[in-house]
């Protein structure tokens, strides 16, 4: 049973190197004797796009990938390339075509699935990945006629059993870890599949399908491959969905991680940089120390990076060993300068702990980044100001900051969602537009705090990165969507019109403007903006900021 695995376009994040998730699946399936073909449409469409469209892959334009209008226009601008990929997929003879989904690849994945089904309805489309949890999009995917099955959680074993069942019976069968749609439209949920506990038993990711692009140095970080160090997290932060996606924390042994890197450097001689894909590199300090020992004993030269937590074991001795073994960068999840707020979300370390760890990281010669979330539930103005003061104190020890551009989301099945009274959360049904503190902490206030944080970071000469911006490129559209959501239509109109004037003009925004004017009892304005929407859809006009808004 042949399978094709696809990474649909989903912004710059997938362009640092070859797509790890489908390389991991490919390695597992091939180890089971199954035939797999992998396609990286994210990098491929970037390379084939006209220069003006490549701007969509800029780090701060992730929200545009959630617009059907934007994705449709991108595909139209790349019609030959998109049609070519669909043709190549069908020519593989793969009966099952699997998509690795993220929030920003959802629209593109569904659009590609629609094209595949249109060409050959007999192909079975399977969705998996982070977006395929019950709390995210799994149920809506399973109900979509473009999707035949949805894999929940870890995909390796479920996908293997799905393919074996197809070989035996020719039809999809209910099984743990899989959502199916019955003939009457019901969603058949057979429950979860237990996670793979012995991580060392997993075969290495297989990047062979991406060799041409890798050797052509067409990826952003052209010498980098990702390495599997573990899954899930030793902590249970109140806002996090990823540890729930992966279940119980499991790490690979230091020896297995070292063997994987040595293997990949043999297969890809130009690979000399590795990113640990787990939520934290230091969840098992004993195995991390063993990995460093093996690197130092081998004399193998490469660099590596990853995310880390603040914990006592990250002292000068440990960090010095990590640096000697090639560690060049660590990202620390600090989230807030308020110790009380961190405690409530289950990040139990003091500011003194964080400052000590960051100093030791700098002294070891390892670059560091801190990750920040402004506006978490219960965050007061004083809590936020503690974050600003912490940033000033740690500035000599850090090299960059990542401030979440979605601020803090309230996702289903997180503690923030399950315990709204404890965190004072109102409107939890919308992951972005909730409020807390009696409405004082709403989406607009979080935007203001984010911008204030960014201004301070830039004043401290921290680099402008994806998380620290002098200007958020989709600010007015996002605020327009917020005010539309709460039915504050005059404010929504003002924001949408600024978006059209200063950001990307698209049919989605024009359609919302028409709805706002309709709700305000201004039918002529509504009709004008509906016509303007049709014009954008037909002509692809106004892709870029214009000198004034049109449709008046």
Asked whether residue 228 falls in the same domain as residue 168, the answer is no
Number of domains observed in the structure of the chain: 3
Spatial CB neighbours of 529, under 8 Å, sequence gap ≥ 6? 510, 511, 513, 514, 517, 551
Final residue in a domain of this structure, among 145, 169, 189: 189
Asked whether residue 400 falls in the same domain as residue 270, the answer is yes
Asked whether residue 174 falls in the same domain as residue 236, the answer is no
For the CA atoms of the chain, what is the radius of gyration? 24
Asked whether residue 150 falls in the same domain as residue 292, the answer is no
Please indicate, yes or no, if residue 204 is contained in any of the structural domains: no
CA separation for the pair 73, 550 (Å, rounded): 20
CA separation for the pair 369, 307 (Å, rounded): 9
Asked whether residue 309 falls in the same domain as residue 381, the answer is yes
For residue 228, which of 436, 24, 68, 451 has the smallest C-alpha distance?
24
pLDDT score at 10: 85
> Which residue has tokens 């801190």?
370
CA separation for the pair 470, 472 (Å, rounded): 7
Range of the domain at 323: 220-478
CATH number for the domain harbouring residue 242: 3.80.30.20
Asked whether residue 47 falls in the same domain as residue 177, the answer is yes
Asked whether residue 260 falls in the same domain as residue 405, the answer is yes
Phi and psi angles of residue 131, each rounded to the nearest 5 degrees, phi first:
-75, -10
Asked whether residue 309 falls in the same domain as residue 449, the answer is yes
DSSP string, 321-358: HHHHTTEEEEEEEEE-S-HHHHHHTT----HHHHHHHH
CA separation for the pair 152, 182 (Å, rounded): 17
Please tell me the pTM assigned to this model.
0.90
The 10s digit of each residue's pLDDT in 497-536 is 999 999 877 788 999 999 999 999 999 999 999 887 766 5
For residue 8, which of 35, 38, 34, 30 has the smallest C-alpha distance?
38
Please indicate, yes or no, if residue 212 is contained in any of the structural domains: no
pLDDT score at 447: 96
The 10s digit of each residue's pLDDT in 472-502 is 989 999 999 999 999 999 999 999 999 999 9
pLDDT score at 547: 32
**Two structure tokens written together for 31:** 């180890």
pLDDT score at 544: 37
pLDDT score at 543: 43
CA separation for the pair 544, 329 (Å, rounded): 36
Where the chain has pLDDT below 70, the residues are: 12, 534-552
Q: How many CB atoms lie within 10 A of CB 168?
A: 10
Residue 210 CA, chain-centre distance (Å), reads 21
Asked whether residue 456 falls in the same domain as residue 501, the answer is no
CA separation for the pair 388, 337 (Å, rounded): 7
């Amino acid at each position: 049973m042949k399978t094709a695995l696809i990474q649909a376009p989903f912004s710059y994040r997938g362009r640092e190197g070859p797509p790890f998730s489908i390389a991991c699946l490919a390695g597992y399936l091939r180890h089971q004797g199954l035939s797999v073909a992998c396609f990286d449409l994210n990098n491929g469409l970037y390379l084939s796009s006209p220069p003006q469209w490549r701007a969509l892959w800029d780090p701060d334009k992730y929200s545009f990938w959630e617009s059907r209008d934007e994705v449709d226009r991108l595909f139209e601008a790349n019609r030959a390339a998109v049609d070519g990929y669909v043709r190549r997929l069908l020519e593989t003879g793969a009966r099952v075509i699997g998509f690795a989904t993220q929030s920003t690849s959802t629209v593109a994945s569904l659009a590609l699935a629609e094209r595949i089904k249109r060409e050959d309805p007999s192909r079975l489309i399977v969705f998996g990945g982070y977006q395929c949890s019950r709390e995210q999009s799994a149920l809506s995917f399973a109900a979509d006629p473009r999707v035949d099955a949805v894999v929940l959680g870890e995909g390796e074993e479920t996908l293997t059993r799905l393919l074996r069942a197809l070989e035996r019976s020719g039809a999809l069968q209910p099984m743990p870890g899989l959502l199916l749609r019955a003939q009457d439209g019901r969603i058949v949920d057979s429950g979860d599949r237990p996670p793979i506990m012995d991580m060392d038993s997993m075969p290495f990711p297989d990047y062979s399908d991406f060799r041409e692009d890798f050797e052509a140095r067409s990826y952003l970080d052209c010498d980098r491959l990702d390495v599997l160090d573990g899954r899930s997290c030793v902590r249970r932060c109140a806002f996090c969905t990823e540890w729930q996606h992966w279940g119980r924390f499991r790490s690979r042994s230091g020896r297995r991680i070292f063997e994987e890197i040595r293997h990949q450097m043999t297969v890809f001689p130009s690979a000399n940089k590795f990113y640990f894909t787990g939520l934290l590199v230091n969840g098992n300090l004993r195995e991390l120390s063993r990995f460093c020992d093996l690197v130092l004993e081998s004399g193998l030269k490469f660099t590596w990076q990853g995310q880390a937590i603040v914990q006592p074991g990250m002292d000068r001795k440990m960090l010095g060993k990590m640096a000697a073994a090639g560690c060049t960068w660590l990202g620390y999840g600090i989230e807030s300068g308020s110790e009380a707020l961190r405690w409530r979300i289950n990040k139990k370390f003091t500011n003194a702990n964080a400052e000590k760890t960051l100093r030791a990281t700098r002294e070891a010669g390892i670059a560091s980044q801190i990750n920040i979330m402004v506006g978490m539930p219960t965050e007061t103005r004083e809590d936020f100001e503690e974050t600003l003061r912490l940033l000033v104190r740690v500035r000599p020890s850090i090299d960059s900051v990542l401030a979440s551009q979605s601020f803090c989301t309230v996702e289903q099945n997180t503690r923030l969602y399950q315990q709204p009274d404890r965190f004072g959360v109102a409107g939890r049904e919308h992951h972005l537009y909730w409020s807390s503190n009696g409405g004082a902490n709403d989406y607009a206030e979080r935007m203001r705090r984010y911008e204030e944080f960014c201004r301070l970071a830039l004043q401290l000469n921290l680099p402008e990165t994806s998380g620290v911006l002098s200007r958020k490129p989709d600010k007015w559209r996002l605020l327009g969507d917020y005010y539309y959501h709460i039915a504050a239509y005059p404010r929504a109109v003002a924001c949408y019109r600024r978006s059209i004037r200063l950001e990307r003009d698209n049919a989605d925004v024009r359609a919302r403007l028409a709805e706002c004017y309709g709700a305000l009892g201004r039918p002529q304005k509504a009709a004008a903006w509906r016509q303007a929407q049709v014009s954008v859809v037909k002509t692809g006009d106004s892709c870029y900021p214009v000198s004034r808004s049109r449709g008046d």
